């Protein structure tokens, strides 16, 4: 006996909403069409709801092993499920960092047991993320690493990055880069702009990112490696990626919801809930990111969900760690501020959160199609409420969006046909 998701809105190939039923059987989508027969199946009433492929977030910090006070695989994937995400890629800047195959296997096994989402671990580029010796890419790939990155830090030495790209190209691995030149970023806490000057805080210039983007594009051209830029934030970086794509360089890029929606002029006061790396930049940078997303320079959206404890984030802006949570607010934020405002269409937003990240990393997820895994997200586009960090499933409450009134909240999430989250006010599926 299967399950029919009855009468929800499914986006067709041209992005038009159509009333469709979805039949799920054996963890897969068995049929998709108007008025499928009940035939003894369980039925979920999805009328009035949008039925999307499960969302995909390829930049998440789950913090295990080592930083369980900030987040765990269990709480982080529960946050993912609440946010409508069914697939997340987790970053290797844990303690110890994921630089050995047994650690990658450990994360995968724990996620298999405790996870409310599919977890694809990134592994390190360099041992200990120290930027010197390469990790064993072949062993990491064979252990199931999605790709390699030293996220949290940029690879400072160009020769090390080139060696990583050569090795990755041989093995068919993507190299994903946190682009940050540490000599230029210095001890910066926020973008090197008006806010930094007003509060006497050390600044991080856009060039700290852009010089590594430019360097890595040159190295990609030399090595033929598949290269991905994490959390793009500076207008110069957008220009470099645009030019590289025009030249046929195999580069992709992601952007976060907060860099699309906020700039440093929006920071109300020195408050570490507004501190993340890369920092919120200028209005022109923000506009360049939106333009880059719309013209295809930037391939997809990823949250960079980076939970920290309340205690850490209560420190002053110079001392607190970088990072904000993102999983539980991403879809409603982007729906309310990009779709409802007419900046992009619903179909574009859905693509940037599903099929686009999947395609960039060669993953078979992010599409509603017969035969695909039954990863589904039901969204109520009319539901409106304020962001309440106290109600997050994540251990992290560090968000600049507290109190924002948003529409478009996920109400039910399903991974391979199993419910991973349901709004208790609406559903009681077992
Ligand atoms: N983005 C952040 O501000 N912080 C991330 C690291 C990272 O993604 O660079 C973290 O691990 O906390
Ligand atoms: Zn990073």
Establish whether 308 is an annotated binding residue. Answer: yes
Q: Is the pLDDT of residue 1 over 90?
A: no
The tokens for 93 are 């800047």
Establish whether 178 is an annotated binding residue. Answer: yes
For the segment 306-354, what is each residue's pLDDT rounded down to a tens digit? Answer: 999 999 999 999 999 999 999 999 999 999 999 999 999 999 999 999 9
The tokens for 76 are 């982080």
The span from the CA of 111 to the CA of 40, in Å, is: 33
Q: What is the mean pLDDT of the chain?
A: 98
The span from the CA of 267 to the CA of 274, in Å, is: 7
DSSP 365-384: -S---TTSB--EEEEEEEEE
Question: Residue 430: pLDDT band by 50, 70, 90 thresholds?
Answer: confident
Whole-model pTM?
Answer: 0.98
CB atoms within 10 A of CB 114: 15
For the segment 86-130, what is each residue's pLDDT rounded down to a tens digit? Answer: 999 999 999 999 999 999 999 999 999 999 999 999 999 999 999
Mutate to test the pocket of ligand 1, among 208, 322, 324, 400 (most ligand atoms within 8 A of CB): 322
Pocket lining: 304 vs ligand 1, CB cutoff 6 Å? yes
Task: Check if 304 is active-site.
Answer: yes
For the segment 224-252, what is each residue's pLDDT rounded down to a tens digit? Answer: 999 999 999 999 999 999 999 999 999 99
Residues measured by CB to lie within 5 Å of ligand 2, the ion: 151, 178
pLDDT more than 90, % of the chain: 99
Is residue 97 within 8 A of residue 122, CB to CB? The reply is no
Pocket lining: 278 vs ligand 1, CB cutoff 6 Å? no
Mutate to test the pocket of ligand 1, among 89, 181, 323, 327 (most ligand atoms within 8 A of CB): 323
Atom of ligand 1 lying closest to residue 321 CA:
12
Q: What is the average per-residue pLDDT within 163-185?
A: 98
Residue with tokens 């000057």, as numbered in its chain: 197
Is residue 4 within 8 A of residue 38, CB to CB? The reply is yes
Predicted ipTM beyond 0.90? yes
Establish whether 62 is an annotated binding residue. Answer: yes
Q: What is the pLDDT of residue 131?
A: 98
381 CA from centroid of ligand 2 (Å): 31
Atom of ligand 1 lying closest to residue 324 CA:
3
pLDDT more than 70, % of the chain: 100
Q: Which of 21, 57, 285, 304 is catalytic?
A: 304
For the segment 32-65, what is each residue's pLDDT rounded down to a tens digit? Answer: 999 999 889 999 999 999 999 999 999 999 999 9
Q: What is the pLDDT of residue 39?
A: 87
């Amino acid at each position: 006996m299967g399950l029919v998701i009855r009468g929800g809105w499914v986006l067709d190939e041209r992005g038009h909403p159509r009333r469709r039923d979805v039949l799920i059987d054996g963890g897969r989508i068995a049929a998709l069409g108007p008025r499928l027969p009940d035939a003894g199946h369980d039925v979920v009433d999805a009328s009035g709801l949008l039925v999307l492929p499960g969302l995909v977030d390829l930049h998440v910090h789950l913090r295990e092993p080592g930083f369980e006070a900030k987040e765990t695989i269990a709480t982080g994937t529960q946050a993912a499920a609440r946010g409508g995400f069914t697939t997340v890629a987790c970053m290797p800047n844990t303690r110890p960092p994921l630089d050995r195959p047994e650690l990658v296997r450990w994360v995968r096994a724990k996620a298999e047991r405790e996870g409310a989402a599919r977890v694809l671990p990134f592994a390190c580029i360099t041992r200990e993320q120290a930027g010197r010796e390469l990790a064993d890419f072949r062993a990491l790939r064979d252990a199931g690493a999605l790709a390699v990155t030293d996220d949290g830090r940029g690879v400072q030495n160009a020769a090390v990055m080139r060696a990583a790209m050569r090795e990755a190209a041989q093995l068919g691995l993507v190299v994903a880069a946190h682009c940050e030149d540490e000599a230029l970023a210095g001890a910066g806490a926020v973008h090197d702009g008006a806010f930094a000057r007003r509060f006497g805080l050390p600044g991080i210039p856009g060039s700290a990112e852009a010089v590594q983007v430019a360097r890595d594009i040159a190295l990609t051209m030399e090595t033929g490696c598949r290269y991905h830029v994490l959390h793009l934030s500076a207008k110069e970086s957008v220009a470099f990626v645009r030019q590289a794509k025009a030249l046929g360089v195999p580069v992709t890029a992601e952007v976060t919801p907060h860099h699309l929606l906020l700039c440093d002029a929006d920071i109300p006061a020195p408050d570490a809930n507004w501190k993340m790396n890369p920092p919120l930049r200028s209005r022109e940078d923000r506009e360049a990111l939106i333009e880059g997303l719309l013209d295809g320079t930037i391939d997809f959206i990823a949250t960079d969900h980076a939970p920290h404890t309340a205690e850490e984030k209560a420190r002053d802006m110079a001392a607190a760690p970088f990072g904000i949570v993102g999983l539980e607010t991403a879809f409603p934020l982007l729906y309310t501020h990009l779709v409802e405002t007419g900046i992009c269409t619903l179909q574009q937003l859905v693509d940037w959160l599903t099929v686009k990240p999947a395609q960039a990393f060669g993953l078979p997820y992010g599409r509603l199609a017969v035969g695909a895994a039954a990863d589904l997200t039901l969204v109520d586009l009319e539901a409106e409420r304020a962001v309440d960090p106290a109600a997050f499933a994540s251990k992290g409450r560090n968000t600049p969006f507290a109190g924002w009134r948003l529409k478009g909240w996920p109400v039910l999430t399903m991974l391979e046909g199993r419910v991973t989250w349901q709004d208790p006010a609406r559903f009681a599926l077992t």
